[in-house]
Amino acid sequence: MPRPDDAQDTRPAPEPLDVEALVIGSGISGIGAAVALRQAGVRNLVLLEKADRLGGTWRDNTYPGCACDVPSALYSYSFAPNPEWTRAFAGQAEIRAYLTDTASRHGITPLIHFRTEVTRAQWQPSEARWHVDTGRGRYTARFLISAAGPWHEPRTPDIPGLADFPGPVFHSSRWRHDHPLDGTRVAVVGSGASAVQFIPAIQPQVSRLHLFQRTAQWVLPKPDHYAPRVERRLMRRFPAAQRALRNAEYAALEALGIGFRHPSLLRAVQRIGTLHLRATVKDPALRKALTPDYTLGCKRLLLSNAYYPALTRPNVTVHATAVDSIQGNRIVGADGSTAEVDTVILGTGFHILDMPIAGRVFDADGASLDDHWKGSPDAYLGTTVSGFPNAFVLLGPHLGTGHSSAFMVLEAQLAYMAAAVRRSRSEGWTSMDVRPEVQAAFRAEVQQALRATVYNTGGCSSYYLDANGVNSFSWPWSTRRMRRRLDHFDAEAYTTTSRSPSSGPPRQ
């Protein structure tokens, strides 16, 4: 049952509804975009949300143990500090409550049209408008902001026999809370960020747990702790203290980021991971199976104090292999190992670089973002794409970091987007489209810089690499440099058009 603070709009949308700005999604990106647009002077805007509640990934991921792996003070909007975090690393419910509260406080919730899924969005040059089709009618908009996010659509592996498994099968982001695991035999496929969190939570409940781990992960100790009331009272009374904490956490993560750009410096951090594994896993065979064979940072860095201890319990078996097939209720590993189980839980990640929204957004000629990208997502400053005027992609290609907060990336983009919208409105532009040569030059600059980073040289296969084997995800510099780069809107990088005086001012 949706909570009362998640106001729902169940009325049919008017046909058509014309707005100045339309935001797809109501997770951290969508809420942040709406606030930034409001601050830029845009009043006529909507957010389209296919679900019945806001929150994005923090709405969808409700698996046991779900929490953030970025410090709480840094995993929040700078314009909406939260002195009430109860842990150094907040849990899912607390983060989603924060997003709900932020949307309400800033007047964003009434702008969200829930249960409204975008099926197609296409640029119409004759109108200088985006036509956005949904299951509840058509919207038209001057600006289109894609805030669908990369950690949203679960990835289901193509395993022979998976569809015929006789018991429950579900992805970690679609957790079956109606299916008790007590006393059952469970297979977990995948050992990424979600699995590292939910395995310790379910291990005490199940009779047997079989982890099928294709790749061992670097897991560092998590410096998490409960924030006592006196600490929260201090943060409420002295906002400067929370700002100081946020700045300190940011500086610490930026220092870690230097190692990602200079992999030889990561040896000390990697040593911490090795010692953490040795201290918690005494069995030499299990420790060997859990030891990564690539440089720390090549894949997403994971934090947990409970993961390794959970894997040492008598009811847990680690299969250091991919799943080859499923035969009835038997899981068969690529190394020939088998396990008979009652439930299969997929911790197999998300469609990060092949986001489904890219197949639903089209240029004037009917070519989608997917058609333009051909497997390698690309955007100027990770934000705008040539051929898609007046459109912005949030948390887009080339901006991912392995060390910092998504909020740092997002707010840099929001500053750029807001500046672009203000400039367009003040100049009377009907469209602005990044020049293809500018986008290509930026892509070449990024790829050149990535060559020396751990993302490209660490010796692993990760979601940073797209279908063509190109790193379309990562930002190869510091987030300070990202913020400087996105701090102002560079109009000379764009082709702009204006409405003729006789046709009147652009619609607002």
Q: Please classify residue 502 by burial: count the beta carbons closer than 10 Å to its beta carbon, then call 0-12 exposed, 13-18 middle and 19+ buried.
A: exposed
| 3-class DSSP assignment, residue 254 | helix
pLDDT score for 355:
87
Give the tens place of pLDDT for each residue, 34-61.
Answer: 999 999 999 999 999 999 999 999 999 9
Q: Between the CA of residue 281 and those of 162, 166, 276, 285, what are the distances in Å?
A: 32, 34, 8, 9
The dihedral built from the CA positions of residue 200, 202, 206 and 211, taken in this order, carries a sign that is: negative
Cβ–Cβ contacts within 10 Å for residue 70, how many?
A: 19
Give the Cα-Cα-Cα angle 351, 355, 356 (nearest 5 degrees): 110
Tokens matching residue 485: 């780069």
Contact between 439 and 386 (Cβ < 8 Å): yes
pLDDT score for 16:
60
pLDDT score for 149:
83
pLDDT score for 427:
96
pLDDT score for 12:
55
DSSP state, 42? -
Contact between 301 and 402 (Cβ < 8 Å): yes
Give the tens place of pLDDT for each residue, 226-276.
Answer: 999 999 999 999 999 999 999 999 999 999 999 999 999 999 999 999 999
Closest Cα partner for 70 from 477, 412, 453, 409? 409
Give the tens place of pLDDT for each residue, 314-329.
Answer: 999 999 999 999 999 9
Q: Which residues contact 65 (CB under 8 A, 6 or more apart)?
A: 197, 198, 200, 201, 306
Q: Please classify residue 292 by burial: count the beta carbons closer than 10 Å to its beta carbon, then call 0-12 exposed, 13-18 middle and 19+ buried.
A: buried
Closest Cα partner for 414 from 398, 395, 397, 430? 395
Cβ–Cβ contacts within 10 Å for residue 468, how many?
A: 11
pLDDT score for 351:
87
Closest Cα partner for 207 from 179, 181, 184, 180? 184
Name the E strands within 91-243: 112-113, 118-124, 129-134, 137-146, 169-171, 185-189, 208-212, 219-220
Low-confidence ranges of the chain (pLDDT < 50): 1-5, 7, 501-508
Contact between 72 and 85 (Cβ < 8 Å): yes
Closest Cα partner for 22 from 102, 101, 118? 118
Work out the end-to-end distance of the chain between its first and last CA atoms, rounded to an integer number of angstroms.
Answer: 37
Q: Which residues of 379-395 are buried (b: 16+ CB within 10 A; e: fewer)?
A: bbbbbbbbbbbbbbbbb
Q: Answer left, alpha or beta for residue 46, where phi above 0 means left and psi between -120 and 50 means alpha.
A: beta
pLDDT score for 499:
74
* Cα–Cα dist 208/236, whole Å: 45
* Cα–Cα dist 447/474, whole Å: 9
Residues of the chain above pLDDT 70, percent: 95
pTM, two decimal places: 0.93
Closest Cα partner for 353 from 439, 476, 467? 467
Contact between 507 and 18 (Cβ < 8 Å): yes
